[in-house]
């Protein structure tokens, strides 16, 4: 297809602007914006032409200009594909500058994903406005004048006149003169006509389907069904913009959004609610051109119910059946099933339109369309790569919400936090997004950077610094977590799941704490559930996932589901799992197999980033081996016999499908005298650190830890009694010694062991 003389002139100028390296798209835009009538048209539409020229000038040169070629490959593709397609669609055999700009007004990836398209969007320039202004200023252009005659100028943005405004006589404006009944929140058509609704990326297929349904003379009510945050309300606002820009599709149609809470508020006297409903229905019947939009339409099944009241849904049914009122409702799949699916008489009046969660590419377009307004609000630039990263991060780490809502929320959170800082560079960065994600969802920053690689490589070493005597257990845990974190696990399942079995006091809970500290850098990331509290069939499940609507404390949610929702990256420790009610195991089967469950309100709680640990003491009797002077082979034989006994007990206690879903069943070794002495030494070191923080030096004989272990009445409780022994035999006497010290001298104490086997506390100065 040939280029017009104006476009050829602009291409030659673009070649000059590129210092002879080859014309590219930014240089072409720079040349076109300096050329009339295009520049004059955009100025007439109040577009910041000079700012756009500066932006084009600052764009880096293209890297895909081959030696000897006049254009870059990107520009060549743009002209021969996108611009040529616009010319063909508009009935032209020549590509004009108009067709170049039309690409940025009609093709989503250029409208929302390119800086020039976003500037046009920010200036509220639509295709219709540009078409009419260009044909008035440019003179005869092939195909355009006839098109302009066929397509009236958009009413969304009336052209300015000498009288100071457009004289639009639409039905929406005539409604201003009437007193609106209670229950109407806003006039969406009015907001569209006045330019108060932001143009965002539209779901063109769903939008056209809505127009077709509303144009149906018989069944013209719509029920939008989609998860929270997928854009149901935004789609209705897009419909208002579409109808304002294309009034011939549904002539004189007005969209009003209803407010059920406003309808119900203040109706304390008997009959008040019925009167308000009657006035609202009379208003809608009087204006058949009005379409009522009801967000969360499922609430009408319960609105204002009391023993003598007729539910609002029953009041509306006859008017919907006769076509006297038109309605668009929005609800979620869960609330559709819970509140509406059983009412077939009501649903017969609607055509259900499912609104799926958009994919990452559409979410990128949505965020790109919102970027200009967000840049203006927060005073920070939003680069394209940051928008892509927001889509990527929200998809990877936020699982209890849906696109595009979760990506928009992350971007706004990052902008809000960054705007409060003294920024050297006025642009949002990828690091800002990571900090916002970490702050909002308690996700450790190291999980999003190269530091995690080092943590995983040395995970055994770091865990063994804290866990004594359980080398085999630590190694199996580390290998499982490392395998999961590099992507070799089923992404739907939890990050890892373990069954820690062994006698009390051997380090099962301590290992869970160490995992939380090492991987998530916060001991609060360990969330403990004592399963003895969930032994009652009456309420165990309800406590974990919440109670349904209408029950006491329904708004609080379940203890388990809310814990995961607040901290999606955590270690969940279910202590003494054998004491839980058998119904609870069905819940764990879903978590271990599918990685998520729904709470009583139907909201998803995602466990795919959790490490799940079950513990049990019901493994069997301890191996009877002498603690001092035994042969290593005897110890191993006894422990292997214990391990087999534990396995048999677990298989007898727990269902096989539960055990089969776990990554590992890990049997903890009983602790010997040597391991217990190391634990006692660590407890003494903790006391030493506390005193050092107060300026008191403490030392002790190497034999003191073994002396403490010797005070244990039995090894059957593992290391659990050591803390109490240190308190009784060390901390209490230390407190007396500190009080007796001379305040003028530098405090220093030493714990010694006498030949008689007694501890003494000596002042060193």
Cβ proximity of 146 and 131 under 8 Å: no
d(CA 244, CA 152) in angstroms, rounded, equals: 11
- Residue 154 scores a pLDDT above 50: no
What CATH code is carried by the domain that includes residue 39?
A: 1.10.1780.10
* Percentage with pLDDT > 70 across the chain: 84
Crossing angle of helices 97-106/25-33, nearest 10°?
120
Is the pLDDT at 283 greater than 50? The verdict is yes
Give the CATH number of the domain where residue 392 resides.
1.10.8.60
In DSSP terms, 254 is beta-bridged to 290
Tell me the mean pLDDT in the region 5-19.
Answer: 85
Place of tokens 């204006």: 287
563 and 491 co-located in one domain: yes
Cβ(360)–Cβ(389) under 8 Å? Answer: no
- For residue 349, being part of any structural domain is answered with yes
Same domain, 329 and 410: no
> In the prediction, which pLDDT does 144 show?
61
Domain that holds residue 594: 452-667
Residue 157 lies in a domain: no
562 part of a folded domain: yes
Angle at 364 between CA 362 and CA 366, to 5 degrees: 70
- With residues binned 3-state (H G I as helix, E B as strand, rest as coil), the percentages for the chain, rounded to 5, are 55, 10, 35
pLDDT of residue 401: 87
**44, 101, 316, 636 from 137: Cα distances, Å:** 10, 15, 52, 94
Above 60 in pLDDT, residue 382? yes
Mean pLDDT of 588-608: 90
Pairing of strands 759-763, 748-753: antiparallel
Cα 405 to Cα 399: distance, rounded to the nearest angstrom: 12
Q: Which residue has the higher pLDDT, 145 or 233?
A: 233
Tell me: pLDDT of 311 over 70.
no
DSSP reduced 3-state for 150: helix
Do 338 and 364 belong together in one domain? no
Assign 142 a pLDDT band (cuts: 50, 70, 90): low
Same domain, 185 and 108: no
Tokens of 97: 């500058």
pLDDT of residue 268: 67
Structure tokens at 482: 């490392």
**Residues β-bridged to residue 574:** 529, 614
**Chain CA centroid to CA 330, Å:** 21
**Whole-angstrom Cα distance, residue 586 to residue 64?**
58
Residue 274's alpha-carbon distances to 186, 266, 318, in angstroms, are: 22, 13, 16
Torsion, Cα 179 183 187 188, to 10 degrees, reads -170
CA dihedral 134, 140, 142, 144 (to 10 degrees): 40
Mean pLDDT of the region 164-191: 63
Q: pLDDT-based confidence at 306, cuts 50/70/90?
A: very low
Q: Is 620 left (phi over 0), alpha (psi -120 to 50) or beta?
A: left
Q: What are phi and psi of 615, to 5 degrees?
A: -125, 155
Take residue 210 and report the two structure tokens written for it. Answer: 């809505």
pLDDT at 632 over 70: no
**Residue 492: which pLDDT band, with cuts at 50, 70 and 90?**
confident
Strands 571-575 vs 611-616: parallel, antiparallel or unpaired: parallel
Which whole number is the average pLDDT over 273-298? Answer: 89
- Same domain? 563 vs 548: yes
Residue 171 is predicted with a pLDDT of 56
Binned at pLDDT 50, 70 and 90, residue 157 comes out as very low
Percent of the chain with pLDDT over 90: 40
Q: Are residues 321 and 378 in the same domain?
A: no
Picking from 354, 383, 408, the residue at the C-terminal end of a domain is 354
CA torsion angle for 22, 26, 27, 31 (degrees, to 10)?
150
Number of structural domains, the chain?
5
Residues 6+ apart with CB under 8 A from 752: 700, 701, 759, 760, 762
Q: Is residue 242 part of a domain?
A: yes
Does the pLDDT value for residue 66 go beyond 80?
no
- Contact (Cβ atoms closer than 8 angstroms) between residue 746 and residue 701: no
Mark whether 183 and 280 lie in a shared domain: yes
Name the burial class of residue 687, with classes exposed (0-12), middle (13-18) and buried (19+) by CB atoms within 10 angstroms of its CB.
middle
Contact 211, 249 (CB under 8 A): yes
pLDDT band at residue 448 under the 50/70/90 scheme: low
Q: Is the pLDDT of residue 263 over 50?
A: yes
Residues 434 and 458 in one domain: no
Q: For the residues 59-76, what does the mean pLDDT come to? A: 71
| Overall average pLDDT of the 188-192 stretch | 83
Give the C-alpha separation, 217 to 232, whole Å. 24
How many whole angstroms separate alpha carbon 371 and alpha carbon 369?
6
Overall average pLDDT of the 143-167 stretch: 42
What are the contacts of 648-656 at 24+ separation with CB within 8 A? 648/620, 649/618, 649/619, 649/620, 650/499, 650/501, 650/616, 650/619, 653/578, 653/618, 654/578, 654/585, 655/585
247-256, 504-513, 697-706: least confident range: 247-256
Q: What is the pLDDT of residue 181?
A: 83
Question: Residue 578 has what DSSP assignment?
Answer: G
Mean pLDDT check: name the lowest of 140-154, 279-293, 655-669. 140-154
- Between 366-375, 427-436, 476-485, the lowest mean confidence (pLDDT) is in 366-375
Q: Report pLDDT for 160.
A: 33
Higher pLDDT, 743 or 363: 363
Q: What is the pLDDT of residue 67?
A: 54
pLDDT band at 414 (very low <50, low <70, confident <90, very high): very high
Alpha-carbon dihedral angle through residues 289, 294, 300, 303, given to the nearest 10 degrees: -100
Average pLDDT over every residue of 385-394: 93
Same domain membership, residue 204 and residue 309: yes
Q: Residue 707: pLDDT above 70?
A: yes
Residues 366 and 350 reside in one and the same domain: no
The answer to whether residue 541 sits within a structural domain is: yes
pLDDT digits (tens, 9 = 90+) for 545-597: 987 655 555 556 799 999 999 899 999 999 999 999 999 999 999 999 999 99
Structure confidence at residue 446 (pLDDT)? 63
> CB-based contacts of 765: which residues, under 8 Å, 6+ apart?
745, 746, 747, 748
Q: Based on the domain organization, do 234 and 259 belong to the same domain?
A: yes
In DSSP terms, 329 is beta-bridged to 223, 294
Helix (H, G, I), strand (E, B) or coil at 71: strand
Helical segments of 267-323, H only: 272-286, 312-321
CA gyration radius, the chain: 35
CB 379 within 8 A of CB 121: no
pLDDT-derived band at 297 (thresholds 50, 70, 90) equals very high
3-class state of residue 254 by DSSP: strand
Q: pLDDT averaged over the chain?
A: 84
Q: Which of 354, 384, 418 is a domain's end point?
A: 354
Give the pLDDT mean for 508-518: 95
Residue 161 domain-assigned? no
Q: Is residue 274 part of a domain?
A: yes
Q: Is the pLDDT of residue 621 over 80?
A: no
CATH of the domain at 495: 3.40.50.300
| Greater pLDDT, 266 or 453 | 453
Q: Is residue 165 part of a domain?
A: no
Q: Provide mean pLDDT across the span 35-41.
A: 89
Distance CA 97, CA 479 (A): 61
Instruction: Retrieve residue 11's tokens.
Output: 């291409």
- Rounded to the nearest angstrom, the gap between the alpha carbon of residue 120 and the centroid of all alpha carbons in its chain is 30
- Picking from 336, 354, 372, the residue at the C-terminal end of a domain is 354
Query: Do 426 and 547 fall within a single domain?
Result: no
Instruction: Note the pLDDT of residue 11.
Output: 87
C-alpha 651 chain-centroid distance? 39
Lowest model confidence (mean pLDDT) among 63-72, 308-317, 358-367, 473-482 = 63-72
């Amino acid at each position: 297809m040939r280029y017009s003389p104006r476009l050829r002139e602009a291409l030659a100028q673009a070649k000059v602007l590129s210092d002879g390296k080859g014309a590219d798209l930014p240089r072409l835009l720079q040349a076109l914006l300096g050329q009339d009538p295009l520049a004059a048209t955009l100025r007439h539409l109040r577009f910041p032409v000079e700012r756009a020229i500066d932006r084009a000038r600052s764009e880096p040169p293209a890297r895909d200009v081959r030696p000897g070629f006049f254009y870059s490959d990107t520009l060549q593709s743009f002209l021969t594909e996108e611009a040529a397609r616009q010319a063909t669609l508009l009935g032209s055999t020549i590509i004009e500058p108009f067709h170049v700009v039309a690409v940025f007004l009609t093709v989503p990836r250029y409208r929302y994903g390119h800086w020039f398209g976003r500037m046009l969007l920010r200036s509220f320039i639509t295709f219709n406005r540009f078409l009419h202004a260009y044909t008035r200023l440019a003179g005869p252009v092939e195909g355009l004048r006839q098109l302009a005659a066929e397509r009236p100028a958009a009413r969304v943005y009336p052209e300015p006149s000498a009288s100071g405004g457009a004289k639009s006589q639409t039905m929406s404006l005539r409604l201003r003169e009437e007193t609106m009944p209670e229950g109407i929140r806003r006039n969406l058509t009015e907001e569209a006509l006045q330019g108060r609704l932001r143009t965002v990326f539209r779901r063109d297929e769903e939008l056209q389907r809505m127009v077709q349904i509303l144009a149906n003379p018989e069944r013209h009510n719509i029920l939008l069904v989609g998860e929270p945050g997928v854009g149901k309300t935004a789609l209705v606002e897009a419909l208002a913009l579409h109808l304002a820009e294309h009034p011939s599709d549904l002539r004189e149609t007005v969209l009003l959004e209803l407010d059920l809470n406003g309808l119900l508020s203040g109706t304390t006297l008997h009959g008040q609610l019925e009167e308000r409903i009657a006035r609202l229905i009379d208003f809608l019947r009087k204006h058949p051109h009005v379409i009522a939009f009801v967000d969360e339409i499922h609430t009408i099944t319960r609105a204002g119910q009391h023993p003598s009241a007729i539910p609002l849904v029953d009041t509306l049914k006859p008017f919907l059946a006769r076509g006297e009122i038109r309605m668009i409702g929005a609800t979620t799949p869960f609330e559709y099933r819970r509140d509406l699916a059983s009412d077939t008489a009501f649903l017969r009046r609607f055509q259900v339109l499912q609104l799926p969660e958009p994919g990452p590419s559409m979410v990128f377009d949505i965020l790109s369309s919102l970027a200009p307004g967000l840049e203006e609000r927060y005073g920070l630039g939003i680069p394209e790569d940051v928008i892509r990263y927001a889509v990527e991060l929200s998809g990877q780490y936020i699982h209890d919400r849906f696109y595009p809502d979760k990506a928009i929320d992350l971007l706004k959170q990052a902008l809000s936090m960054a705007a409060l800082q003294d920024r050297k560079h006025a642009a949002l960065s990828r690091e800002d997004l990571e900090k916002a994600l970490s702050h909002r969802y308690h996700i450790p920053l190291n999980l999003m950077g190269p530091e995690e690689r080092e943590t995983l490589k040395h995970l055994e070493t770091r865990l063994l610094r804290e866990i004594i005597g359980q080398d085999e257990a630590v190694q199996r845990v580390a290998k499982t977590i490392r395998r999961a974190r590099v992507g070799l696990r089923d992404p739907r399942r939890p990050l890892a799941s373990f069954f820690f079995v062994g006698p009390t006091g051997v380090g099962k809970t301590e290992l869970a704490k160490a995992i939380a500290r090492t991987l998530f850098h916060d001991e609060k990331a360990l969330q403990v559930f004592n399963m003895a509290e969930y032994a009652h069939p009456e309420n165990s499940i309800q406590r974990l996932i919440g109670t349904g609507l209408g029950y006491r404390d329904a708004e609080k949610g379940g203890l388990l589901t809310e814990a995961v929702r607040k901290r999606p990256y955590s270690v969940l420790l279910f202590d003494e799992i054998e004491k839980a009610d058998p119904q609870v195991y069905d819940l764990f089967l879903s978590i271990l197999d599918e990685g998520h469950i729904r709470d009583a309100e139907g909201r998803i709680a995602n466990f795919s980033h959790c490490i799940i640990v079950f513990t049990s003491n019901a493994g069997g009797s301890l191996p009877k081996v002498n603690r001092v002077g035994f042969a290593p082979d005897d110890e191993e034989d006894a422990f292997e016999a214990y391990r087999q006994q534990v396995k048999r007990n677990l298989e007898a206690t727990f269902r096989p499908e539960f055990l089969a879903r776990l990554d590992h069943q890990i049997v903890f070794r009983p602790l010997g005298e040597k391991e217990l002495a190391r634990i006692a030494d660590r407890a003494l070191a903790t006391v030493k650190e506390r005193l050092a923080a107060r300026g008191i030096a403490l030392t002790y004989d190497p034999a003191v830890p073994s002396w403490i272990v010797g005070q244990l009445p039995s090894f059957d409780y593992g290391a659990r009694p050591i803390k109490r022994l240190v308190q009784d035999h060390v901390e209490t006497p230390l407190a007396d010694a500190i009080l007796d010290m001379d305040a003028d001298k530098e405090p220093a104490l030493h714990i010694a062991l006498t030949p008689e086997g007694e501890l003494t506390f000596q002042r060193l100065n």
